[in-house]
Every structure is written in structure tokens, then in C-alpha cells.
Structure 1
Amino acid sequence: MNKIVVIGAGTMGNGIAHTFAQYNYQVTLVDTSSTALESGMANITHNLDRMVQKEKITDKVKEQTLANLITATSLSKCVEDADLVVEAATENLDVKLAIFKELDNLCPEKSILASNTSSISITQIAAVTQRPEKVIGMHFMNPVPIMKLVEVIKGYSTSEEVLQEIMELSQKLQKEPVLVNDYPGFVANRILMPMINEAIETLYHGVAGVPEIDTVMKLGMAHPMGPLQLADFIGLDVCLSILEVLYRGFKNPKYAPCPLLVNMVRAGKYGVKSGEGFYNYSTSRKAEVVANQFKR
């Protein structure tokens, strides 16, 4: 396995492409937007520069990583000899189903099709293809080049051969793959999102403010980042999408998104990527507390 195609040049997609390229795989990063591709490549270069400055990699590794990367705005030619395609598009079921239908038609029989989904059923995605045994989940964590975990999600029909190949591949990327079964939210988000949602509920009910909630969790529970700031970095729109998947999947009110989260997403307050969420990032990525506007 050497030729990798990554679909989606956003935060997760460019991080996944960076990681494969750094470990000497030939990578094509695909996005329908040339602007997104330019931004994604700029982000990869910036992150490689930081790794060089911190002496995590050498200049030679940086140059080789960039040499292993190309970009494309069309799937048809770049997937014709792909060993693995990793979809990292938006967390939207219809979008993912459309992509996998197209991939199934375009990719050779040998290609393994993986989704970086953080909550959507791999079994459901696989069902729109003629190769469900070759469809699997590879849920990387952000920032991908740094975080060690990969949730490897086995769909109902995923073959043992494909599963083992992806587990071994993840290890070659110096990651720690963890096998999980295909249920809403898998493990990471089934546990994380209710905690984030409860933190938002705590704010919504006026129990404490944004910095106070995050400080309690950082100092009291030894979390490196408070849940509200973490939600900003994940993207409040992504958090909402995952909670909606959990709520639909389990029919349990404990997964119902907090009304404050719903309203913030409606208002376009997505967190870091929009410049404001529970914190203000308009001047830099450093979190500055937003004026108290979260009361019911």
C-alpha cells in the first residue's frame, strides 16, 4: 500500500495528508475548491515549519513530505490507481454517501475506502457501495500529525483482512490504532460529546461562566483544555452534528443538544474557524473570553 488519496482539504483532511506524506506515502489531496487546497497546503507547510523549529523533524524530512504531496480538484484520474482513499469531508451523511457512491464507481477493485467520520455509521456508508467488505472507519484525532490515537471502526461487513491491513498501516504512521465497533459516536465521541454538551448546559443554566467551567475541568480533572474551549477547536457545528447523530441513534434525551449550542450554530458562531464561539479568536488563535452573552 503506497498510493493514498485524501478527500477534503480542511483541518482533518490536510492533517491526514500531511501524516501519510511524512511517512513516505504518495499522497493526493483532493478538494473541489482550489482555494481550500491552497489553504490546506499552506497549513501543512506551516505545521512542518513548526516541527522543524521544535526539532521534531529535519529540513530534509520537511522537503520530502512536501515532495510526496500533490493536489487535485477532480477525483476521476487521481483514484484510478489508489490503494487507499480516506474521506475527510464535512460530517454530513448525504455528502458522505454521495462521495462513497462515486468512489465505488471510480476506484479499482483493490482500493480500500475509509471514512474519517467521527460519528456516522460505517455500515450505512458501506451499504451504498458494491464493496462493503472494503469499507472501514479511520477516525483520526486533531491535530492529526501530533495525536496518537486512530479509532478504527469495523463496519458490519468489513473483512478481517481489511481490518488488519488498516491496523498495521496505522502503526506504520506511528499511531495507536484502537478497534471499535460501529455504533453511534463510536467510543471517543459517545463519551466526549455528552461531556461537552453538559458543560454547555452548565453555562446555559448560569451555574458558572465560560472560564470558570473550563478552569474547573482543567485544574480539577487534569484536562489539558476545558470542554468549552475544546468545543471551539472541534467546531460547534461539528459538535452539534455529532450530538444529533447520537440523539437519533439512541433515542435518548441525554444526547439532545443544548439549546444554546443550537442557537450559536444558527448564528454562525462555530468557534476557532469562524473567529468566535465561547471564546473570541478574531485577533489570534489564543482564546479571549467573550462578553457574557450566554444566559438563558
Structure 2
Amino acid sequence: MSTPSAPAVVGVIGGGRMGAGIAQSFAAAGSSVTVVESGAQAAAAALDRVATGLQRAAERGRLTEPAEQVLGRVGTVDSVDALPAAADLVVEAVPEDAALKARLLASAERAVSVTTVLASNTSSLSVTELASALTHPGRFLGMHFFNPVPASELVEIVVAPDTGDETVRAALAWTHALGKKDVVVKDSPGFASSRLGVALGLEAIRMVEEGVAEPEAIDDAMSLGYKHPMGPLRLTDLVGLDVRLAIAEHLHAMLGERFAPPRLLRDKVARGELGRKSGQGFYSWQ
């Protein structure tokens, strides 16, 4: 059985932590990658994130060629309209705003070939609703990468009712070409990973709120007792409390009271305690 190959040309919409990680992963697998970021400063920051990630990967022996050579396959443009028409795959990786994602995906569809696969990195929004913004929803699906993308083993493939079989097969092959494993799920609120992960995280926050235990104790209970690589509160800090709150609010609206965000989570976000990115969450990251 032949080893799957990475797509030759990839577009990534958004060069933040997730987008840069996705770009790095495809470039390291041999793809030519174009990252869409608005403005020279944002584009430079995106490239710097990719360069930093590649340097770390090189230091850990995870690259098969020099980091500078891989970075040479990554470029930036300032508009979705400038995505390469010949792209095999375009992955949208902007914040969890359904209207923003739908608008950018529709623009991307107009910019690329009719054979290009379009994917959203959304962690919780309806892939079916995002597909409704497209003229050809059969070539669209969710490819939910996990943070940090280069080190994470998993890609959650989210299939909407109109997603074509060939689109799914291509996404699976590209996932394997990145050296990652897949889980395939039907489109539903929170998919499999976010739905379970958020449920665990929210209950851990409630336990802190109720004084059951300190964050370190709760995290140790899960990492030592259940062999989770990281406790739910430390993970919440890494994901971002604001991101977790937004996902919880979406799941609360879709699935009911069991996903109601705890007051402690709302209060921390209101105070700007967003986790690692702000320096303070359930832990200090100074």
C-alpha cells in the first residue's frame, strides 16, 4: 500500500496559533503553503510563528530537512482573493465566529479551482451551516486540528450531509500524510472532541468554584488517575478561557443546561484572565 502524499498546494486562512501550526505541518510534509493575513504586521507575525515552530521542531529532531528550507515553502498574501487558484486544499483557521468563517469560505471558493477541497478548523460550529454559504458544499468538511498542531496526533474529520465521499477520502489521506491519526464524526454540536472536552472542563471549573479542590489537585486526579496527558484546567489555560467560554455558550444554546458556563469562567474572562496568552488563568504563566 502506497504512502499517502501531502497536497502540493495548500492555503491557510488565518495565521494565528492554529493557522501557523497548520501551515507549519503541511510545509514540513512538503506542501507549498500560502497563509492569508491582513496587513504586513500580521503577516510577519504569522511567518514568525511558523519559523519559531520549525526551529523547535528541528531542535527536537522532528524535521527531515533544515528549518529554513521548510520555511521557504511558506508565503503570505493579504486577501483570500489572492489564494492560489491551483490549491488542492484551503483550511480556514480564524476565530470561532460563524458569520466570519462563512464569509471567508465563500470568498475562498470563488478564488480557487472547482476541484479544491475547502475545510474549516472550527472546534464546535456547525459544518452544515457553514456549508450553506458555499455553491459546492460537496467539497467542504471540517478538519479540526488540535493545539499545538505540529505535535498533536489527532485530526477530527467532520462530515456534513452534503460532504462528498471523495472529499472525505482526500482529507483522510492528507491527515495520514501529516503523520496524524483521524477520527471521523458526523456534524453535530461540539463534534466528539469538543463536546466531551468541554463537559470535563466545565465540571472541573465548577469544582474549583465550589471549593472541592485546588486546580492542581483536580488536574493531578485526571492526569495521574486517568492517564490524561494534561488536566482539564491546565488545558483550559492553554486553549484560552475566552475560547472555552465561547464554545460552552454555543453548546449551551444547542444542547441545554449541562453546558451552562460556570460563573467563575465568566468572571475570569471578564477580568482578562484568559490563560497562558494573558499570563493568568487557573495558573500563573508569568
TM-score, normalised with respect to structure 2: 0.93
> Identity over aligned residues, as a percent?
38
Q: What is the identity, as a one-letter code, of the residue corresponding to 1:157?
A: D
Residue 75 (str. 1) matches residue 72 (str. 2) = no
2:276 to 272, 278, 281: 272
Whether 1:55 aligns to 2:61 is yes
Residues 79, 265 of structure 1: alpha-carbon distance in 2 compared, 3 angstrom cutoff: farther
Match of 1:115 in 2: 120
**Equivalent of 1:257, from 242, 256, 261?**
261
2:4 matched residue in structure 1: none
The question of whether the paired residues in 2 share the 8 Å contact of 1:22 and 1:64 is answered with: no
1:116-142 CA distance string (max 9 Å, x none):
000111110000110111111000111
- What 5-or-longer segments of structure 1 have no aligned partner? 283-296
**Cα deviation, residue 150, structure 1:** 0.5
CA distance, structure 2, for counterparts of residue 66 and residue 165 of structure 1: 25
Contact 2:80 2:104 in 1 (8 A): no
Match of 1:201 in 2: 206
Is the partner of 1:146 in helix, strand or coil?
coil
Alignment partners' CA distance in 1, 2:44 and 2:284: 25
d(CA) in 1 for partners of 2:101, 2:180: 25
User: Is the 2:28–2:70 Cα contact (8 Å) retained in structure 1?
Assistant: yes
- For the pair 1:137 / 2:158, whether they are aligned, the reply is no
CA contact (8 A) 1:264 1:270 kept: yes
Q: CA RMSD in A?
A: 1.4
Deviations 1:59-97 (A, max 9, x none): x34232111110111121224332211000001112111
Q: Is the 8 A contact 1:22 1:61 kept in 2?
A: no
**8, 17, 38: which is aligned to 1:2?**
8
For 2:43 and 2:215, locate their aligned partners in 1 and report how far apart those are by CA, in whole Å: 34
Q: 1:32 aligned to 2:34?
A: no
Contact 1:231–1:239 (8 Å) recurs in 2: yes
Residue of 129, 148, 151 corresponding to 2:153 = 148
How far apart, in 2, do the equivalents of 1:10 and 1:77 lie? 19
Equivalent residue letter for 2:38: T
Alpha-carbon distance in 1 for matches of 2:44, 2:279: 20
Does residue 41 of the first structure (1) align with residue 47 of the second (2)? Answer: yes
**Contact 2:83/2:108 (8 A) holds in 1:** no
Secondary structure of 1:206's counterpart equals: coil
Q: Secondary structure at the match of 2:76?
A: strand
Residue 228 of structure 1 pairs with residue 233 of structure 2: yes
Q: CA deviation at 1:21?
A: 0.3
Unaligned runs of 5+ in 2: 1-6
TM-score between the two structures when normalised by the length of structure 1: 0.90
**Aligned residue pairs: how many?**
280
